[in-house]
Amino acid sequence: MGGTDLDARLATRLRVLRAERGLSLDALAARTGVSRSMISVVERGESSPTASLLDRLAAGLGVTLAALFAEGEQDGATPVSRRADQAVWRDPETGYERRNLSPSGYPSALDLVEVVLPPGARVAYDTGPRAAPFDQQVWILDGTVDLTEGGTSHRLEEGDCLAMRLDGPTAFRNPGDRPARYLVALAAGAARSRP
């Protein structure tokens, strides 16, 4: 799916999610710390937002970043996601690329995303606690990723898998000289106690 098509779909999806939650531009701005004018520009498809900005909007809407690139549930949606139909988005700031693998519009509590992180790139999600936490697992397919969650850092190599809860700031960095590729699995988090 081309950038222009994806930008238009992203803009529409943001407007729909905001309307479904009964949020004005001002209310979403207050929840996210993103200016009303920037949200408006993104919703009109006139900006190429960064991954960090999109994550802040997703958190304010109570959804995952992957949900911003998917279509809402649709009757008759196919359970098969063909590679040619999968939404691919590139962060204009870092060149990091994400591909939504899960069937768009098909009801599921799980989202799968493939990410390619360029050599030396760092993507930070500085979003604080979310109203609806999500569980995430990151499985490294190729390369090395330094993943920081809160104050804890993990060096992940090919084949390593990290389970975590999205409830605070996280950062992904590729310390290598070749692209790192990893799979992210996201699911709505169940209530659980912390030690």
State phi, psi for 138 to the nearest 5 degrees: -120, 120
Nearest CA among 131, 87, 96, 133 for reference residue 115: 96
Nearest CA among 188, 186, 165, 189 for reference residue 66: 186
Q: What is the pLDDT of residue 70?
A: 77
Q: In whole angstroms, give the CA distance from residue 133 to residue 136.
A: 10
| Alpha-carbon dihedral 179, 182, 188, 193, rounded to 10 degrees | -100
Q: In whole angstroms, give the CA distance from residue 66 to residue 129.
A: 18
| Run means of pLDDT, 10 residues per run, the chain, 195 residues | 68 93 94 92 89 89 83 81 92 93 88 96 80 85 95 96 89 97 84 41
Q: What is the pLDDT of residue 28?
A: 93
Q: In whole angstroms, give the CA distance from residue 66 to residue 70.
A: 7
Q: In whole angstroms, give the CA distance from residue 94 to residue 86.
A: 21
> Which residue ranges form the domains of the chain, and what is each CATH number?
3-69 (1.10.260.40), 83-188 (2.60.120.10)
Residue type (1 letter), 48: S
Alpha helices per DSSP H over 21-155 = 25-32, 36-43, 51-61, 65-69
Number of H helices, E strands in the chain: 5, 10
